Amino acid sequence: MTTTVHIDDETRSLLIELQTEIERETGTAVTEREILAKLVRAAADGQTELVDSARETPRSVSEETVDAFNSGMFASGVETSEADIDEILYS
């Protein structure tokens, strides 16, 4: 079964660039259909990332943000229990 997918000129241009690069690097001819099939399979394998990329606002923070947050952390040498935290927060 064949289905026609309409893509805009920019996407078509990127697809052609990708096809050209694959053929140059591998020395093997590859069809646009093969490229699209591989892209869909790769997206399906990482579908969480694909779904997140479609959100209007990101749900998770970037690795850079996490690294920046963690860079300010240090070990004080004092163990803090949940009870200690509750005492500080709720007293």
Whether 15 is in a domain gets the answer: yes
Whether 68 is in a domain gets the answer: no
Tell me what the pLDDT averaged over the chain comes to. Answer: 87
Give the pLDDT score at 20: 96
pTM score: 0.53
Give the pLDDT score at 77: 85
Whether 81 is in a domain gets the answer: no
Give the pLDDT score at 19: 96
Whether 72 is in a domain gets the answer: no
The count of structural domains within the chain is: 1
Domain limits at 11?
A: 1-54
User: How confident is the model over 1-15, as a mean pLDDT?
Assistant: 90
Whether 83 is in a domain gets the answer: no
Whether 75 is in a domain gets the answer: no
Task: Give the C-alpha separation, 25 to 8, whole Å.
Answer: 26
Whether 69 is in a domain gets the answer: no
Task: Please check the confidence at residue 58 and state whether its pLDDT lies above 70.
Answer: no
Task: Please check the confidence at residue 71 and state whether its pLDDT lies above 80.
Answer: yes
